[in-house]
A = this chain, B = another copy of it.
């Protein structure tokens, strides 16, 4: 029998808390988008995001502290990327187990520094606490203009659905790290690297926003399938997905273990690609904007008016299910009022 938080479920927890909070007037984004945004006058919008890394649920075995600290930043940057907002500065709140050594602290510092430089932002403060598990809670601040932030809610029937990269490596990597599945060395290294050194698509997100070509956007950190459902709910549309770009290492891994590669690609998580929708007449401009920053925009399907999400490949039609990776991470969800 489920009890406590498990029985409640993440969404219910957030709704319960929401009940007690007053809504701020002048918010610039709807409840439940990737970030919080508030109008601050003069057409400017302040954008905020917080996401907490918890050792037990977010740091798989053999991930280094340096990688964990870097990941804590990437998790936050990815949401700014999806909204096309440049991260200006960041705070980091640390919970540190008493057993950590000086070298451990240095590793955490190095990982935070790595990530800040990688995404051209600065950590300008934080706080340090003793805690029973490793906690790295980042808060990002950025600025945008009124009407400029790409929401989750603007997708329209006929739009093209696209992603910024391939899927499946992280799911496969986590199966190696958490379930002990094996793979040839060179493949295993790549799959584990996807878990240890995730990359946020900030350049792509900023370029797409700059070009003004997106109707909606979300990051895929909860998994491709779940994120499509979130986008579907926010925009009140559905999707026909006719292509799921799965990394060749993930396909190979699926082949070795008799797994469905679509399962790895759709129902993973901890992958920080962007999922965007684009009006057909803006598609070429969108492709070009991403290519100009060294990325690739991959068409995966189209938006439909009916609220269902279907996978149509190899002449077969399947329903994409609303589920993601749950063995590793339970009870994690961001909320924005």
Contacts and interface: CB of A to CB of B under 8 A. Distances in A.
Copies in the complex: 2
B91 A5 contact: no
A127 B52 contact: yes
A283 to B, nearest CB: 32
A293 interface: no
Interface in A1-34: 3-6, 8, 10, 12-14, 16-24, 27
A35 to B, nearest CB: 7
Contact of A331 (B8, B88, B128, B330): B128
Interface string A140-155: 0101000000000000
Chain A: number of interface residues, binned into ranges: 35 or more
A72 to B, nearest CB: 11
Interface in A301-337: 330-337
Nearest to A103: B16
B89 A123 contact: no
A116 interface: yes
B56 A131 contact: yes
B143 A40 contact: yes
A179 to B, nearest CB: 20
Contacts of A332: 127-130
Interface stretch (A106-114, A224-232, A234-242): A106-114
A91 B40 contact: no
A128 B32 CA distance: 13
Contacts of A56: 130-132
A121 to B, nearest CB: 9
Contacts of A4: 97-101
A57 B95 CA distance: 11
B48 A125 contact: yes
B130 A330 contact: yes
Contacts of A102: 8, 12, 16
A328 to B, nearest CB: 11
A13 B330 contact: no
A336 B125 contact: yes
A50 B98 contact: no
A254 interface: no
A27 B129 contact: no
B141 A337 contact: no
**5 closest cross-chain pairs (CB), A and B:** A36-B125, A24-B122, A20-B109, A20-B113, A139-B139
21 contacts: A4-B99, A12-B102, A14-B128, A20-B106, A21-B122, A40-B143, A48-B89, A50-B127, A54-B95, A56-B131, A57-B130, A91-B139, A93-B93, A122-B337, A124-B337, A126-B334, A127-B333, A128-B332, A128-B335, A130-B332, A131-B133
